[in-house]
Structure 1
Amino acid sequence: MAQRARTVLNKSPSLTSILTNTSIKTNATDMVYWVELCIERGKDLSIKDFNGTSDPYVKVYYGTEEKYVTNTVYKNLNPIWNEKLSFFVHDLNIPISFCLFDYDRIGRDESMGSAKIDLWKLPLEKNYLFQNKFFILLEFFFNITINKTNIRFYQARDLSAKDINGKSDPFCVVELDSTRLRTHTIYKTLDPVWNKSFIIPVQDIHSVLELTIFDEDTNKSTEFIGKIAIPLLAIQNGEKKWMTLKDRKCILPVKGIIEIEATLIYTNLRAIIRTFNPRQVRYYQQDGKFRVGVFKQHINRVRNMLKCVVNAAKFVNYCFEWENPILSFCSFN
C-alpha cells in the first residue's frame, strides 16, 4: 500500500499505447479503494406479512450514502438474489452497511435487521464470505485503485429558456458508469457559472463521461437543456475548452455551450484487465412504490384545473344572462 503506480497521460491513448506505456509515479495521497460485492441469499428470515411470509430486499450503504438496492423477492423467507455490485470508497473508517427490509405496497417498509463491515479491519486483495445473524450471505472483495478522472465545470452560455420569465434554473449532472453527481443550481440565468469540480473513480477507461444540463422547476421536476458525451480515452489532460450541447442521444446540436476541463489518471495494468472484462452496468433504481404525498399532489392539481373550468363556465353563463349589460356587451363584441 505504501507505493502505488499511476500514469498521467497528456494525450488520447490507444490500447497499444496503454500496453506499452510504462511511466510510473508514486504518490501517497488521494487514495481510492475498489469494493466488489455479491449479495447471494438469505435464510430463515423473520415473518412480516399476514400470509406468513415476507417480501425481502437489501439496501447497501457506504456511511449514510445509499449505493445499491437489490430486487425484491416476494413471499419468500429464503430469498436468492445473486446480485453483484462494485463501487469506490475513499475512507476506510466509514463502514459498509447492509439493511434488510420487508417491502410493503402501502406505507413504510419494515426493517428486518442490519449488519456492517468495517473496511479498516480487512486486508486488501482477498475474497471473503460474510454471514451474520440475519443469514445474509455475501461474497466480498476489497482492493486499492487509483484510477480516476477530475472534471471541472466552469460555465455555460446561451442556454435555452425553459421558464415563463425567459430564463432557466440550470444545474449540471455528470455520469460515469454507476457514479452520478450534480452541481448546485444557478437560478434565473441563461449563462450560469458553476466553477465546480469532481473527482470520479474510473473502473473502465473505455467508458464514456456524460454531462447533462437540466432546468430545475419549483415542483422538483426537471427539464432537459442539453448534453455532451466524452469518451475517457479522448480526454486531453488539463485542456480547458468549450463544447456545444447536443440532444439526449448526442446526435443533433441544441442551443448552448459549456466550458469544461478534464484530467484522466489510471494504471496500465488495471486498464488492461478491464479491457477483457464485461462493462459495469449502470444502476439507477426507480422507486415505483405508491406514495400518499405524490398522490395528494396530483389530486390537488386536478382539483385546481376543474375549478378553473367551472369558473370559466360560470363566467360565460353570467355573460349570456345579461345581468350586467355592459360586461355582456364587451364580452360578445
Structure 2
Amino acid sequence: MARNTSLYFRVVEGRNLPAKDVSGSSDPYCIVKVDNEIVARTATVWRNLNPFWGEEYTLHLPMGFHNLAFYVMDEDTIGHDDVIGKISLCREYISSHPKGIDSWINLTRVDPDEEVQGEIYLELHVVDNQQRRMLHCHVLEARDLAPRDISGTSDPFTRVFCNNQTLETSIIKKTRFPHWDEVLEFDLDLEADEVSESSEVSVVSVEVWDWDMVGKNDFLGRVEVSLDTIQKFPATKGWFRLLPFGNAEEDTGGKLGALRLTVRLCEDRILPSMYYQPLVELLADSIVSPTEEESITPLAMLEEVSSVESRQEVAMKLVKIFLGQGLAVPFLDYVNMREVTRTTDPNTLFRSNSLASKSMEQFMKVVGMPYLHGVLKPVINQIFEEKRYIELDPCKIDLNRSRKISFKGSLSEDQVRESSLELLKGYLSDIMDAIIGSVDQCPPVMRVAFKQLHKRVEDQFPEPANEDVKYVAISGYLFLRFFAPAILTPKLFNLRDHHADTRTSRSLLLLAKTVQSIGNLGLQLGHGKEQWMAPLHPFILQSISRVRDFLDQLIDVDSENVSEAQPRTLFHPSVTIKEGYLHKRKAEGMGLVTRFTFRKRYFWLSSETLSYSKSPDWQVRSSIPIQRICAVERVDENAFQQAHMMQIMTKDNEGQLHTMYIQCKNVNELNQWLSAIRKASIYNERMLPSCHPGAFRNGRWTCCLQSDRAVRGCSRTHSAVTLGDWSDPLDPDAEAQMVYRQLLLGRDKLRKTYLEFSDPGTAPEREERSCDISAKQERSPSFQDRRMAAAARLLDVIQDLERAHQAFERREREEGPNHSHHP
C-alpha cells in the first residue's frame, strides 16, 4: 500500500520587514525548504518592505516529510545575501489544521544550532558480558549532514553519552556523508545506584559535531533513545533523524516582520487498485448508463456533498479519472448538460464555480497546456523583452516614466495614450492572429468537448435572440478561463520563469482585459466603468466576427475518430513536455573541474526521449530513451564547485550505469527539470534506491569519500518527489482516493438526504416534498425509491473503502513499531 503526501503552499506577501540596505529598504525574496532541501525560490521584490509574491506550489512527497521552512532573504548584488528571518512549520502542526493554514505568521531569528539536517544510522543493543551489562552503540554512517565549512562540507565526528560516560568516534574530514563503522561500548552497571536514584529516564544521547581546528566545534544534530526502548526491542537499529537541541523558536513580536502564508497538507494511504474499482465504476455508470433523472446519479450526489472550496480539486481528480477511463468527453458532456438544463437565463450560463465550469477549466489545463504554450509563448516573450511603457487610464499616466520612450523629452498625455494604443493594438493583433490560426494545433479531444457543448447550448436556447450564446459558452472557457488568465499571469501557466515587473504587468493586464472582452463577443462593451478603454472598442468589434469563424472551424471535427489519452500519459509521445538551454558536463572521469568542462546545449523532454543538441535548429540530436533512466537527483555543490546541478543516471543494454551531469541557471529551473524528468520516468522499472550526490574524482567519491566507484550510493533517491502541475501523469488510485475522501467528509449530508427520503415524516413535510418533486418536471412516482437506491449504493461503496482502510491500518499496528524512527 502506497502513501501519498501532497503539500500545497502559497507565499502570499510580507509586511513590515526590516531594512537591510543603506537606502533604508530591502530587496526581499523567499527560499522554501522541505527538510532542509530547497524546493522553491520566489522572485525578488526590489526596494520594498511590504512585498507581494503570490507564488504557489504543490509538492508530491511519497516518503513524507518532517518540516517546512520559509526563509526571507535580502538580495545583495555584492557579497552574500542577508537572512532576514524564518518561519518553521512542523508536519504535526500543519496536520492539525485539516482545512489548511491561511494567516500572517511572525518571522523568527535564524539560530545556526537549530539549522540541522540529515540522518544517522545506529545499531543499539544491550549484551551481558561476564555478569556485566554493556550497551553496544554501533555508529555506522550518516547522510545529508549540514555543510558547516566554506568548502560546502563538514568534518563530522559523533559523541555518545550514556550512564555518565562519554565516548567519541573518529573525525572524518570533508564530507557530509561520513562512514565510521565504529562500536562504542558503555558499562550499564557503572554507578548503577546513582542512576537508579535519578528520577529521569536513562537515555542514550548521540550528538554529531563538525570538528574545527580553530574556534569551537559546530553542532550538526542529535538523537536520543531511552534505554528502556533499547532493552524492550533488542534490535533497535536503522536511520534516525537528527534533531536540534530543542530551543524553542523565539517569536520576536513582529520585529522582523511577518509573512502571509497558505499551507495545506493532504496525507493519504493509497489502497491497491481493486479497492477503488467499485467507486470508479459507480461514477462511470453516471455517464455510460445515464438515467432520466440527472439528480440521482452518484456524480450529481458528489457535487451536492462536496464543498465549494474543494470543487476545483474534485474537478481535477474527476477529469483525470475519466481521462484514464477514456471517458473525459462524455463526462464533460454530462456535467455541462446538467448545468445547461438547470440554467434559465443564458447570461448566467457557466458564470458560477460549479462542477461543470471547474471541470472544463481543469480539463483545458490538463490536455491543452502545450497548445496554450505554442499559441501564446512567442508574443508573451516579446512583451517581456520589450518592456514598453503602456497606459490608457488618464489617472495612471506618469509623464516622467514616458521620457524613456521618447528621445524628444516628455510626451504629452495624449501622445502617451496614442503611443500606448498603437502598441496594444500591435500586441493584440499578434495574439489574435496566433489564436485564430491555431485550429489545427488545438487537441482534438478539446475540440470534440467544445463541439458537444455547442450543441447542448444550441438545443437549450434555440431562439434567434440567443444566437450568440452557443459561441459565448465556448469562448467563455477558451478566452476567459484559459487565454486571458495566462496573459495576465504567465508565470502561473509556466509561460515565464519569473513574474512580470510593474511596467510589463500593467501591459499584460490591459491585454488580458481586451482579450476577455473579445471572448465575451463585445456583449458588455460600454457598460463598464473603464470608459478609457473605449479607443480599443473598434479593434474588439472587428475581432468578433473572426472569433465566430474560428469557433465554427474549431468544432468542425469528426467526433468518432478522436481517441482520448491512455491511462498513464496525457500527451502524444512526440509532444515536448519541457525544453530549454542547460549546461551539460563534457565528459566523465576528468580530474580537472573547470567551467570549460560544461557545454551549453538545448534540451527537449518528451514522454519517450530526453534529447539535446547545440541549438534548437541544429540538425543532429543526441537522445536518451526515457525507459533507461533509473535516477534523477540533485548534485552536491562541492562536487564541481557549481550550484544548481543535477545528475541523470541511465543503464545501457549491458546493464552498465552512465551518469550525465547538468547545470541549471537557478534553483527553480533545477526543480522544474528534476520534476519533469521524474514524471516522465515514474513508471520505469528498476529505479535505483540510492545514489551518490557527489562525483567520482581523483579515485574517490566527493560525497562519502569511498574509493570503490561501484559502491552502493550513500544517499536515498527521490524519484517520486515532484512538483504538481498540468504535466502530472495520471494516477487513477490516488485520484479515486481523493474523491473517496470528499465523499467521506460529505457522508453525513448524504445520509441525511437518504434518510429524509426513507422516512415518511409528518404530513406537512410530505406535502412540501411532494410539491417540490412535482415542480421538478413531474417526476415519476418511483423517483424517491431510485434516489434512495442510488444513495444507498454510494454509501455502501464508501463504507467498503472505509473498512479496507481500517483493515490496512490494523495490519500496520499489528506488525509493530517497524522502526518508527525511520524517515
TM-score of the superposed pair, with normalisation by structure 2: 0.16
Higher helix share: 2
TM-score of the superposed pair, with normalisation by structure 1: 0.37
Ranked by relative contact order (alpha carbons within 8 Å, sequence separation 6 or more), the top structure is 1
